[in-house]
Amino acid sequence: MRSVFFDNKKLLLLTFFTVILSLNNVHARKIELAREGNDTTVKNNINDAIAAANQPNDTIYIIGSDIDTFSGDFPANFINGNITFLGENSNPDSFPVLIIRGSNWNNFWNNVGNCTTRFERVVLQGCSPISNQNNSHKCVIKNAVVRGYTNNAVFYINGDNSNAITINNTIFISNRRPIFPRLDSHNSDSPYGSVTNCTFYNNDIVNADDPGQARSLLSVSNCIFHSSNKNIAKTNILRNSYTYCLLPTAEETAPWGTGCIFDNDPKFIKTTPSAATDFRFFKDSPARDKGSPAPPTDISGKPRDPHPDIGAWEWVDTNVAPVRIELSNNSIAENNLTGVLIAKFTTIDSNASDKHTYRFISGDTSYFSIKNDSLLAKAVFNYESKSAYSIRVRSTDQGNLFFDTTFIIRITDVNEAVTEVSLSNSSIAENIPGGTFIGRLISTDPDSNDIHTYSFVSGDTAFFFHPIRLSPLKDIFQL
């Protein structure tokens, strides 16, 4: 036997070439897809880009943002299943949108085998279903958004392909058809797929399967299921395979798997999220540090903590802009004192330790002042003159990121005292009969719509009738 030794330089060189060869094996070529393309290196049509990716491990590299949508079908008889769709932008709000529908797409999943098709940093929107019918065709979806499925389920499960579907760090939002439909057929005892660190929001049905056997064939862990989902899992057999998930409190009595917690509010940074970054959460989210082993990075590519969070995002204490300004009160009674406190500002910011400063941007700013986080009255308000004022306020954090909000400050009416009572006539001739009209009482009142009544207080009251009210402001006074 002969021993072979390498010095450090040769070993380093060998390692370098090994890494290069490994990378080349993962992505043999990069086919660029962009809205502005040419006929040589860049394609502007998804069908052309797929047709060009005809070698194993080719990557379709999509240059663009969420304003770029690429729609079409696979080329006919396309057989290269080892293909990756990879978005250029790592910001989930800027993932390009893929709408792939048609019979060629269906044939691709059903007939092409011994391969893995990957989708990363893209939005899959209303595509035809991804099928596991071919027992050796696998699908990987990571760092993605799946939304807007209205015509068909996201997946079609009909085959014995174990671990056919792997999904990580993906947001499922507003899908009107089932994401994981009822199995047509799956005779393997092993799960057909795994779903890890995903976020589900406003979907009609997540898992529609109703297994006839005492087994669940989908492994789900570290996922957030918002209460806006109408149906998460139909049977207890399915629920048992969901582990370390955040679920609505209405699900607490069901037999969910190990580590599941229950809370209706994941504390997303926006209460009605729509963009991918809206599903980030605040530091006090119940999803914090509650996950089991997770992918090393989150949907944006940021590293996860040793104690990972639940959901597609990992909370990271990096400075982000405030997301909302709240005002403790939006009204003040008229006839106020100047300098009086109207309300206090509070800024909603995922950076819990951030401090904020406030200033006016526009509006009726001459009537108000800001001191620290307090809104003060700078004028004496009169409801009868003006009952509402508009101010636009900016909150700026310590990293100079800001958020603007317009507030309407309403002036409330105070019942003010009559300032004067006058009589239209104050003299009468002698010797006139009783009941003769003398004059009208008129009240001067800052509250112009007030109704007034009159009564004697003192004086020669025996010589006059009690007034008779005729109108809000004018009464007859009789002898």
Residues sharing a CB contact under 8 Å with residue 317, sequence separation 6 or more, in sequence order? 283, 351
Parallel/antiparallel/unpaired status of strands 420-423 and 402-412: unpaired
- pLDDT score of 14 more than 60: no
Question: Which is more confidently placed, 49 or 40?
Answer: 49
Specify the pLDDT at position 2: 32
- pLDDT score of 92 more than 50: yes
- pLDDT score of 63 more than 70: yes
- pLDDT score of 477 more than 60: no
User: Average pLDDT of the chain?
Assistant: 84
Parallel/antiparallel/unpaired status of strands 155-156 and 420-423: unpaired
Summarize the confidence of residues 84-95 as an average pLDDT: 92
Specify the pLDDT at position 442: 80
Confidence of residue 428 (pLDDT cuts 50, 70, 90): confident
Instruction: Convert the pLDDT of each residue in 160-197 to its tens digit.
Output: 777 889 999 999 999 999 999 887 665 666 788 899 99
Highest mean pLDDT: which range of 124-138, 240-254, 412-426, 437-451: 240-254
Confidence of residue 210 (pLDDT cuts 50, 70, 90): confident
Put simply, whether the predicted model's pTM sits higher than 0.85 gets the answer: no
CA distance 294 to 310: 9
State in words which class domain 324-412 has: mainly beta
Q: Which residues are paired to 348 by β-bridges?
A: 324
Confidence of residue 7 (pLDDT cuts 50, 70, 90): very low
CA distance 315 to 308: 9
Q: Where are the domains of the chain?
A: 8-279, 324-412, 420-478
Spacing of C-alpha 178 from chain mean position = 21
Confidence of residue 66 (pLDDT cuts 50, 70, 90): low
- pLDDT score of 55 more than 60: yes
Share of the chain above pLDDT 70, in %: 84
